[in-house]
């Protein structure tokens, strides 16, 4: 009887051990599966187009009109470049530094006031001349590879697989999801609801570039209500964009007259960053009728004439998937 009891106890211990081992194995497999999913989703490159320049040349629906430039009129275009400004006789820009507040409440930001000779002078470029998810390079690297005199980080389209992506008159993605911004070839810029249109319809209307991040923070010259409650994405790692943060955004003064703002942040005593409402205030003070938030945080970068203008919050540039730029 005693021997039988000991045998049953031993069997129960073995069963408990097997249950624990099975549970541990299941947990390990689950974690391994989750890690593999996360790596595939956020780290592994998924290339859809491996030569964007060739693809753009083949598929562009927009003919860039260079008529009326100084060169074609027989005049020499005078390019003037200073530490804070650039003009080529058609497109011009001037960069200013603004410091507000003091101590821990100091905010430092940079404003690029840009007048385009033609709407197509504002171009976009993708990291490594490829299109897809998780393909990244430093803003300065993308800028240098494309001969940019000025650039800012874009909307980080490569973090997601949704949105309408039109760049330089070419459709790259047509998965409507959020409020976007569209630049037309006639120099106008509009906030729009992606879910009410398509890439082909926008292209037919003269779209040159679209951005898909947001939110729109200024419309009709006024701050948009509710911007502090907006979530850009529902996927892991990019939910709330509230609080004092480094920021990048673009504003519209008039046709072919834009302002780009990069706010540094997370650097006590130099710049704490701003909320979306405070960012909108900056654009209203600049006279913008429309302003649209882009990828921020460690991505916020302004580049000019071979150097970084701002001080990114990571202690250096963070790689991103795309830029907006003006060629020098």
In the prediction, which pLDDT does 80 show? 98
- 321: helix, strand or coil: coil
Flag whether pLDDT at 288 surpasses 50.
yes
Could you list the residue range(s) of the whole structural domain that residue 34 is in? Answer: 1-44
Same domain? 58 vs 24: no
Flag whether pLDDT at 12 surpasses 90.
no
Same domain? 188 vs 309: yes
Same domain? 22 vs 108: no
In the prediction, which pLDDT does 306 show? 98
If we measure between CA atoms, which residue out of 183, 182, 201, 206 comes closest to residue 192?
Answer: 182
* pLDDT band per the 50, 70, 90 thresholds, residue 27: low
Same domain? 11 vs 52: no
The half-sphere exposure of 262 on its side-chain side, counting CA atoms within 13 A, is 27
- 227: helix, strand or coil: helix
In the prediction, which pLDDT does 75 show? 55
Same domain? 24 vs 153: no
User: Roughly how many angstroms between the first and final C-alpha of the chain, as a whole number?
Assistant: 94
Same domain? 228 vs 252: yes
Rg of the Cα trace of the chain? 25
Same domain? 226 vs 106: yes
Flag whether pLDDT at 170 surpasses 50.
yes
Least confident of 40-44, 133-137, 152-156, 169-173: 40-44
Average pLDDT over residues 260-279: 98
Instruction: Using the structure block, give the residue that is written with the tokens 């410091």.
Output: 99
In the prediction, which pLDDT does 233 show? 61
Same domain? 34 vs 140: no
pTM: 0.86
Same domain? 19 vs 63: no
In the prediction, which pLDDT does 237 show? 47
Same domain? 166 vs 236: yes
DSSP state of 196: G
Same domain? 105 vs 174: yes
Give how far Cα 130 sits from Cα of 48, 127, 147, 156, 296, Å. Answer: 8, 6, 17, 13, 22
Flag whether pLDDT at 206 surpasses 60.
yes
The total domain count for the chain is 2
226 or 236, which is more confident? Answer: 226
Same domain? 36 vs 84: no
Flag whether pLDDT at 183 surpasses 90.
yes
pLDDT digits (tens, 9 = 90+) for 89-143: 999 999 999 999 999 999 999 999 999 999 999 999 999 999 999 999 999 999 9
């Amino acid at each position: 009887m005693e021997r039988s009891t000991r045998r049953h106890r031993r069997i129960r211990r073995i069963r408990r051990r097997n249950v624990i081992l099975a549970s541990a194995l299941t947990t390990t497999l689950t974690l391994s599966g989750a890690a593999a999913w996360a790596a595939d989703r956020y780290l592994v490159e998924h290339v859809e187009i491996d030569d964007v320049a060739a693809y753009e040349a083949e598929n562009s629906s927009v003919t860039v009109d260079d008529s009326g430039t100084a060169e074609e009129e027989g005049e020499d275009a005078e390019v003037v470049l200073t530490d804070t400004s650039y003009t080529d006789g058609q497109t011009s820009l001037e960069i200013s530094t603004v410091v507000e507040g003091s101590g821990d409440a100091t905010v430092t930001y940079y404003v690029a006031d840009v007048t385009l000779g033609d709407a197509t002078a504002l171009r976009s470029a993708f990291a490594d001349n490829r299109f897809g998810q998780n393909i990244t390079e430093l803003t300065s690297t993308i800028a240098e590879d494309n001969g940019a005199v000025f650039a800012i980080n874009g909307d980080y389209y490569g973090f997601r697989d949704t949105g309408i992506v039109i760049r330089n008159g070419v459709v790259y993605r047509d998965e409507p999801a959020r409020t976007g911004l569209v630049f037309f070839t006639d120099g106008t810029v509009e906030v729009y609801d992606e879910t009410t249109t398509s890439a082909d319809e926008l292209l037919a209307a003269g779209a040159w570039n679209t951005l898909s991040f947001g939110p729109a923070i200024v419309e009709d010259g006024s701050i948009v209500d509710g911007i502090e409650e907006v979530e850009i994405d529902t996927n892991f790692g990019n939910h709330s964009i509230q609080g004092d943060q480094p920021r990048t955004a673009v504003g519209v003064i008039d046709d072919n007259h834009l302002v780009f703002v990069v706010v540094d942040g997370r650097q006590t005593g130099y710049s704490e960053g701003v909320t979306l409402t405070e960012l909108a205030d900056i654009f209203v003070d600049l006279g913008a009728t429309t302003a649209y938030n882009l990828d921020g945080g460690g991505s916020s970068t302004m580049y000019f004439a071979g150097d970084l203008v701002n001080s990114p919050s990571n202690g250096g540039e963070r790689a991103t998937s795309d830029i907006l730029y003006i060629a020098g």
